Amino acid sequence: MTPVVVLITIFAYFIVLFGISYVVGHRADNQGFFVGNRKSPWYVVAFAMIGSMISGVTFISVPGMVAASGFSYLQMVLGFIVGQLLIAYVLVPLFYRMNLVSIYEYLENRFGLSSYRTGAWFFFISKMLGAAVRLFLVCVVLQMLVFEPLHLPFILNVIFTVGLVWLYTFRGGVKSLIWTDTLKTVCLIVSVILCIYYIASDLHLDLGGMWQTIRGSEMSQMFFFDDVNDKRYFFKQFLAGVFTMIAMNGLDQDMMQRNLSCKNSKDSQKNMITSGIAQFFVNALFLMLGVLLYVYAATEGIAVPQKSDELFPLIATQGYFPLIVGILFVVGLISSAYSAAGSALTALTTSFTVDILGVKGKSEEQVVHLRKRVHIGMAVVMGVVIFIFNLLNNTSVIDAVYTLASYTYGPILGLFAFGIFVKAQVRDRYIPLVAIASPVLCFILDRNSQAWFGGYSFSYELLIMNALFTFIGLLLLIKKPVKA
């Protein structure tokens, strides 16, 4: 694909995005920006949530991971569905009953100001790193396809990419995100299905032949029960999926602000159950595409890249298929990555404005002025983090950031779990110390697990351990009842 074709595709997509953002956001007030005025139809939110759970990393990485992990990722997705059910019937009614704008306001009501600030800061760090690394991957692809051929530096790439994200989230906030995520879901599903079609056609496979090829491949194994030390072991993946979904969806301002935009808690529950089940089938499509990509590479004698993330971009954009496949790849990539980054930018703006700076006692105009300045600030910080990733020039940073999510979301999960299931009051001022100590203990445990536990290696279940340490720490902070 030529740089011109890629740029035309990006600009065409963003013209549609800006149109949607203008139509739904030109009259958005602060409530519209933060929670969509709680008027979003549940079925629209449910469809949009399918796409919102899929980032550019998913779009690129999941097809490539089948060579090493098979379909084991679907074990985790099954856990996601259970996690969605728990969020729908435990957290959603609670948040609606309290009429929250930021979900971390719950921590202030339950414990006090220190825990409130702690939850907000841990979310801020988690989301900023996660959003920046997702956008960094897109910048890497755009640098290869557009900016390097035009001899333009990476810094312009970052300014271009973050600038577009800031522009289309500037006006409408959550109201814009619901409808742009709907467009994203359409683009993702259509692009993956058509890519599967073109690859299967080139391999001369009809629907039955394609199914037999995928099913007969060693890469399509889904369940792993044999080795508890294997990171693909079922119960590791499933339980991690349950708690990861609760932490990174139910306790994440970015994701929950969509669910809180529904008219009431019942509609929000319908949205979560529907989108949770649908994401299983969408992720299965990505994994099926991955098997076909490896089969195609073997059939055509294409050297498989050392980094599995590069397989899909290589085959889609380097002339092996008609131009439409490359265009579909770019549309799928930018729709997943830009939308995910845009929703993160909105959530970061909401959380930083409401939770960290505070808006109580301020007029509507003052909040608007503050929110706009924070929005610009968040975009600048995101751009700086992306540029730092590039300077490090080490894609293992990506793995490190996702591992870091287990550390930063763990204390949030522990705080909410304790708040909901234990009614006792705690000494609020010491909560930040517990939230910092828990990830430190997890890091020590992770580094020594093989030596201490007979070769056992932690995977995503580290998130559960982190939350458990936080929970235990809070038990130690329970206030003793004052004797009369």
| 197 is a domain residue | yes
How far, in Å, CA of 455 to CA of 477, rounded? 34
Q: Give me the domain span that covers residue 321.
A: 3-475
3-state helix, strand, coil in the chain (%, to 5): 80, 0, 20
| 210 is a domain residue | yes
3-state helix/strand/coil string of 260-308: CCECCHHHHHHHHHHHHHHHHHHHHHHHHHHHHHHHHHHHHCCCCCCCH
φ, ψ of residue 251 to 5 degrees: the values are -110, 25
Please list the residues that pair with 478 across neighbouring strands: 426
The three-class DSSP label of residue 484 is: coil
pLDDT for residue 176 = 58
**The residue type at 97:** R
Where do the H-state alpha helices sit in 112-233? 113-142, 154-169, 174-202, 207-216
Look at residues 71, 460, 49, 66 and name the one whose alpha carbon lies nearest to residue 277: 49
**The residue type at 81:** I
Quick one: tokens of 160? Answer: 């271009």
pLDDT for residue 101 = 67
| 481 is a domain residue | no
Q: What is the tens place of the pLDDT at every residue in 82-135?
A: 999 999 898 888 888 887 767 778 888 889 889 888 888 888 888 888 778 778
DSSP letter at 320?
S
pLDDT for residue 30 = 45
How far, in Å, CA of 83 to CA of 239, rounded? 9
pLDDT for residue 398 = 52
pLDDT for residue 36 = 45
Q: What is the tens place of the pLDDT at every residue in 89-103?
A: 988 888 888 877 677
pLDDT for residue 29 = 46
Pair 9, 327: CB distance under 8 Å:
yes
Pair 477, 454: CB distance under 8 Å:
no
**The residue type at 185:** T
Count of CA atoms in the C-beta half-sphere (13 A) of 354: 25
- Output the CA–CA distances (angstroms, integers) from residue 427 to 374, 438, 441, 468, 484, in the order listed: 31, 17, 21, 18, 20
| 480 is a domain residue | no
| 483 is a domain residue | no
Pair 75, 241: CB distance under 8 Å:
yes
| 317 is a domain residue | yes
pLDDT for residue 146 = 85
In tens digits, the chain (484 residues) has pLDDT values of 688 888 888 888 778 777 766 665 555 444 444 444 456 667 777 777 776 666 666 777 788 888 888 898 899 899 999 999 999 898 888 888 887 767 778 888 889 889 888 888 888 888 888 778 778 877 887 888 888 888 889 999 999 888 887 876 665 445 556 666 777 777 778 878 888 888 888 888 888 999 999 988 888 899 998 888 888 889 888 988 898 888 877 887 777 777 777 778 888 888 888 888 888 888 898 899 889 989 988 888 888 887 777 788 888 887 777 788 788 778 777 777 776 677 778 778 877 887 778 767 777 777 778 878 888 898 899 899 888 888 875 554 555 666 777 788 889 989 999 998 898 899 999 999 999 999 999 989 888 888 888 778 777 778 888 999 999 999 999 987 655 5
pLDDT for residue 52 = 65
Contacts for 117 with CB less than 8 Å, ≥ 6 apart: 355, 356, 432
| 484 is a domain residue | no
Quick one: tokens of 227? Answer: 């080795």
Count structural domains, the chain: 1
Per-chain mean pLDDT for the chain: 81
Q: How many CB atoms lie within 10 A of CB 368?
A: 14
pLDDT for residue 68 = 81
CATH number for the domain that contains residue 463: 1.20.1730.10
